[in-house]
């Protein structure tokens, strides 16, 4: 991660949002990147409050003061634990717009959110608002669901061999520089059911299967070589089957604490992030999820 570009951690003060802030602080300490902690008060909720109680009622100001105090306490806790001096940013308005504006203002290298939170974060990570946020951002996004006791140890990096795969690998190395990388690809025999239905014999289909596996193995090794990985830094994980199911299985079987996905891929929509794989990993996986948002130029 570029140490001159800040990390922006967004919090709603829920327990998992605190995990996200702690992970962001750990990354800031490891990389030397500046850290900003942000909380957004819903502009719609504040507007409704002023309508109910009157524009001059002090409660709205008190809510802002309370939120700033919580941000300051969180920053102090992170400084004591991680020796990182975090800036704080309090905003009100459209949550997505405010996050995007602050990320642009900072030129943030990474956005960090909790996997599930209270209020807006829960809806954004698991609901349609999340999809809009993730599809809108041009920056890597880290969704944290684990308590960050240590630096990332093993990262499962999903590769589909699109132009985004090499960039996803580069982002994984910046966010988890000390992790052992598991380069994952799930292959399938194209139109296997239709081949059976058309009467193609089993031996021919098995030949296609072995051909698909061999091609995947070759492409994974080629990507590792292009990324300059040493043999001790990575291992291949080539499996057959549905990517969503197989990725979740391998995450658990190989004890990975980070899963890395590319925002765009070779799917019907050319958008892996909004497809079933990422949704499945966010909803069902147990590891943190890092989403890369750019392809290699």
Q: Quick one: CA dihedral 10, 152, 296, 2, positive or negative?
A: positive
pLDDT of 9 reads 95
Cα→Cα distances 195→201, 204, 267, Å: 8, 10, 21
pLDDT of 271 reads 45
Placement of tokens 């943030």 in the chain: 108
pTM, entire model: 0.85
Instruction: Give all domains of the chain, ordered by start, each with its CATH number.
Output: 7-144 (3.40.50.620), 154-292 (3.40.50.620)
Q: Are 115 and 143 in contact (CB under 8 A)?
A: yes
Q: Are 121 and 145 in contact (CB under 8 A)?
A: no
Q: What are the phi and psi torsion angles at 238 (to 5°)?
A: -110, 115
Q: What is the 3-state secondary structure (H, E, C) of the chain?
A: CCCCCCEEEECCCCHHHHHHHHHHHHHHHHHCCCEEEEEEEEHHHHHHHHHHHCCCCCHHHHHHHHHHHHHHHHHHHHHHHHCCCEEEEEEEECHHHHHHHHHHHHCCCEEEEECCCCCHHHHHHHCHHHHHHHHHCCCCEEEECCCCCCCCCEEEEECCCCCHHHHHHHHHHHHCCCCEEEEEEEECCCCHHHHHHCCCCHHHHHHHHHHHHHHHHHHHHHHHHHCCCCHHHEEEEEEECCHHHHHHHHHHHCCCCEEEEECCCCCCCCCCCCCHHHHHHHHHCCCEEEEECCCCC
7: exposed, middle or buried (Cβ count in 10 Å: 0-12, 13-18, 19+): buried
Q: Quick one: CA dihedral 148, 30, 287, 263, positive or negative?
A: positive
For residues 19 and 103, what is the distance between their CA atoms, to the nearest angstrom? Answer: 20
Residue closest to 157 by CA, chosen among 272, 17, 283:
272
Q: What are the phi and psi torsion angles at 13 (to 5°)?
A: 75, 10
What's the average pLDDT block by block, 10 residues per block, for the chain (297 residues)?
Answer: 81 90 95 94 63 61 87 96 94 87 94 68 44 72 91 95 87 94 87 61 76 93 95 96 89 95 54 56 83 68
Strand partners, 92: 41
For residues 238 and 289, what is the distance between their CA atoms, to the nearest angstrom? Answer: 20
pLDDT of 242 reads 85
């Amino acid at each position: 991660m570029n140490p001159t570009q800040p990390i922006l951690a967004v919090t709603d003060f829920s327990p998992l949002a605190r995990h996200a802030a702690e992970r962001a602080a750990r990354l800031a300490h490891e990389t030397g990147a500046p850290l900003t902690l942000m909380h957004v008060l819903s502009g719609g909720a504040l507007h409704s409050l002023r309508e109910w109680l009157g524009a001059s009622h002090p409660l709205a100001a008190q809510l802002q003061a309370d939120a700033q105090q919580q941000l300051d306490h969180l920053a102090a806790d992170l400084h004591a634990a991680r020796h990182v001096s975090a800036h704080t940013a309090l905003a009100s308005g459209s949550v997505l717009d405010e996050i995007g504006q602050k990320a642009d203002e900072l030129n943030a290298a990474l956005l960090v959110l909790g996997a599930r939170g209270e209020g807006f974060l829960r809806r954004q990570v698991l609901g349609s608002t999340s999809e809009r946020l993730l599809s809108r951002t041009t920056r890597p996004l880290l969704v944290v669901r684990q308590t960050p006791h240590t630096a990332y140890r093993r990262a499962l990096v999903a590769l589909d061999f699109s132009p985004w795969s090499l960039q996803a690998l580069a982002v994984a190395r910046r966010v988890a520089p000390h992790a052992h990388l598991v380069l994952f690809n799930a292959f399938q025999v194209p139109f296997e059911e239709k081949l059976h239905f058309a009467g193609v014999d089993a031996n021919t289909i098995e030949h296609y299967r072995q051909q698909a596996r061999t091609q995947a193995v070759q492409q994974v090794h080629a990507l590792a070589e292009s990324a300059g990985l040493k043999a001790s830094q990575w291992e291949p994980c080539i499996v057959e089957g549905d990517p969503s199911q197989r990725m979740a299985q391998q995450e658990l079987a190989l004890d990975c604490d980070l899963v890395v996905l590319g925002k765009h891929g070779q799917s019907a929509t050319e958008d892996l992030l909004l497809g079933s794989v990422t949704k499945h990993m966010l909803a069902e996986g147990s590891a943190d999820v890092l989403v890369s948002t750019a392809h290699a130029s």
